[in-house]
């Protein structure tokens, strides 16, 4: 995890700022810019990202702090994303998680978390 964090800080992904919390390296403050040419372009979205002790065997926990109207995000900010559930891989990295969340600007209505938004 230390290596992943160092890599992320040295070479941040475009439109993503992730900083570990001062008190624990397992908790990150994240800001993601809305994806270009999407409904979220120009937006700034704050998230919390935490890694359990069992990481990388157990998926990280991620949720939006910024309110977002999206079929794959519920009103509490929880995210429906396959790599955080049944598509978890030992190759998963912090960068991969964040890029996948940023790519949610293209909603997946076939796997909604917020059914009212899909309707």
CATH assignment of the domain containing 21: 3.10.110.10
Residue 27, burial from CB neighbour count under 10 angstroms (0-12, 13-18, 19+): middle
Tell me whether residue 118 is in a domain: no
| Overall number of domains in the chain | 1
- Report if residue 18 sits inside a domain: yes
Q: Write down the mean pLDDT value for the chain.
A: 87
The dihedral built from the CA positions of residue 119, 41, 87 and 18, taken in this order, carries a sign that is negative
In a domain, 46, yes or no: yes
Measured from the Cβ of residue 44, the count of other Cβ atoms closer than 10 Å reads 12
- Is 98 domain-assigned? yes
77 in a domain, yes or no? yes
Task: Say if 103 falls within a structural domain.
Answer: yes
Q: pLDDT tens-digit profile of 67-116? A: 998 888 999 999 988 888 878 787 778 888 999 898 887 777 677 777 77
What does each C-alpha distance from 6 to 12, 37, 94, 112 come to in angstroms?
A: 10, 30, 11, 34
Would residue 12 count as lying in a domain?
yes
Rounded CA separation 103/107 (Å): 8
Tell me the catalytic residues: 80
Q: Residue 37: pLDDT band by 50, 70, 90 thresholds?
A: confident
Domain assignment present for 100: yes
Query: Looking at residue 35, what is its pLDDT?
Result: 79
- The range of the structural domain enclosing residue 82 comes to 2-112
């Amino acid at each position: 995890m230390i290596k992943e964090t160092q890599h992320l800080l040295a070479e941040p992904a475009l439109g993503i700022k992730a900083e570990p919390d001062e008190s624990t390296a397992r908790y990150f403050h994240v800001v993601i810019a809305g994806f270009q040419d999407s409904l979220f372009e120009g937006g700034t979205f704050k998230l919390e990202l935490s890694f359990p002790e069992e990481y990388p065997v157990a998926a990280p926990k991620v949720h939006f702090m910024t309110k977002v109207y999206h079929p794959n995000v519920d009103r509490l900010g929880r995210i429906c994303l396959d790599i955080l559930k049944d598509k978890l891989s030992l190759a998963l990295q912090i960068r991969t998680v964040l890029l996948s969340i940023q790519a949610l600007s293209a909603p997946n209505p076939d796997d909604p978390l917020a059914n009212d938004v899909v309707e």
